[in-house]
Amino acid sequence: MGHGWEGVVLKLMRGRDFTFTVTGTEQVTEDFRRVHLTDGGLLAATGGAHPTMWVRVWFERGGKPHQRAYTLVDPDPAAGTFSLEFALHEGTASDWARAAKPGDTIDATLQGTGFAPPEPRPARLFVVGDPASLPAVNSLLDAFPGTPATLWFETTHDSDERLPLRLDPDHHTLHRVPRRDRGAGLVAEVKSALPRLLGADASDAYVWIACDTATTRALSSYARKELSVPKERVNALGYWRATG
C-alpha cells in the first residue's frame, strides 16, 4: 500500500519508513487490545527508545491510506521488539487490531516523536490522560521512578477500571474520572484540585496532559495562563478529536 500525499509530506520532512510484523496479541479488556510486534529495524536505526516514543502507523480505509500515531510499549532495542495498544472503538485501526494475527505486517513512519525531560528534574508530576494515552502515561511514570505523581485518568467504559496503569502506591495518587459532557467533567475536576496541589511555586513541577484535543487545549492553557506554570514545565498533546 502506498502512503498517498501524507506519505510524500512525511518523506519531505525526513520521515523514515519501517515495516512491523505481528508476533502475538493480548485482549487486555474487552475494550483494549495489545499487539506484539517486531520493529523492522526501527530501534537499531534510532539508537534506542525514549519515553513516550511514538510512530505513525498506516491503515487502509476505502482503498486510501490513513495514518494514526501510537506510542511504543515496552520497547526492547536488543530484541528489536515492542507492543502497540489500542483503545477499541469503531474505526479502521481498531478493526485491524481486532483481526491482527502472527505474521501480519503493518507499515509505519517515524517522524515527529521526541521527548526532552524538563531541567531541573521535576520533583512532582501532574498527569492527565485517558485510555488512548495510557501507553504514554505508563512510559512517563517509568521514566521518573520514585517521583511523586498525581494522575487524573478519564474513563469511558466500565472495563477502563481494569486497565494496567503502572502505579507505585508509595508515590502515585490516582483519580479516575468518568467521561461526561465531552470532557468538561475532567476539566472541572483538574481545575478544582490543581491550584491547591501546585501551591504558590510550580517551578519544581511537571504538568503532562494528553486527552482529547479540546480537553488538552483547555487544561494546558489553564496551567500556563492562570496557574503560571512555566511553559517549559507543561507538555500537552491532543491524542484524539471528539466528534458528535
What tens-digit pLDDT sequence spans the chain (244 residues)?
A: 566 655 554 554 457 999 999 999 999 999 999 999 999 999 999 999 999 999 999 999 888 998 999 999 999 999 999 999 999 999 999 999 999 999 999 999 998 788 888 889 999 999 999 999 999 999 999 999 999 999 999 999 999 999 999 999 999 999 999 999 999 999 999 999 999 999 999 999 999 999 999 999 999 999 999 999 999 999 999 988 876 5
Neighbouring residues of 59: CB distance < 8 A, sequence distance ≥ 6: 65, 66, 67, 68, 92, 93, 96, 106
CA quadruple 141, 145, 151, 154: dihedral sign: positive
Q: Are 16 and 68 within one domain?
A: yes
Question: In Å, how far are 90, 120, 129, 188 from 244, measured between CA atoms?
Answer: 14, 42, 21, 21
Residue 223 identity: A
Determine the Cα–Cα distance for residues 130 and 137; give it in Å rounded to an integer: 9
Total number of domains constituting the chain: 2
Residue 53 falls inside a structural domain: yes
Residue 241 falls inside a structural domain: no
Q: Which helix (H) or strand (E) holds 27?
A: strand 16-29
What pLDDT is recorded for position 2?
63
Q: What is the pTM of this model?
A: 0.90
What pLDDT is recorded for position 239?
84
Q: Are 87 and 165 within one domain?
A: no
Domain that holds residue 223: 124-236
Q: Are 142 and 58 within one domain?
A: no
Q: Are 105 and 22 in contact (CB under 8 A)?
A: yes
What pLDDT is recorded for position 9?
47
Cell of 33: 487490545
Neighbouring residues of 86: CB distance < 8 A, sequence distance ≥ 6: 32, 33, 34, 35, 70, 93, 94, 97
Residue 32 falls inside a structural domain: yes
Determine the Cα–Cα distance for residues 39 and 225; give it in Å rounded to an integer: 41
Residue 92 falls inside a structural domain: yes
Q: Are 16 and 83 within one domain?
A: yes
Q: What is the DSSP letter of 122?
A: P
What's the CATH number where 145 sits? 3.40.50.80
**CA angle 197–143–198, rounded 5-degree value:** 10
Of 79, 110, 141, the last residue of a domain is 110
Question: In Å, how far are 15, 25, 55, 106, 235 from 18, measured between CA atoms?
Answer: 10, 20, 10, 9, 27
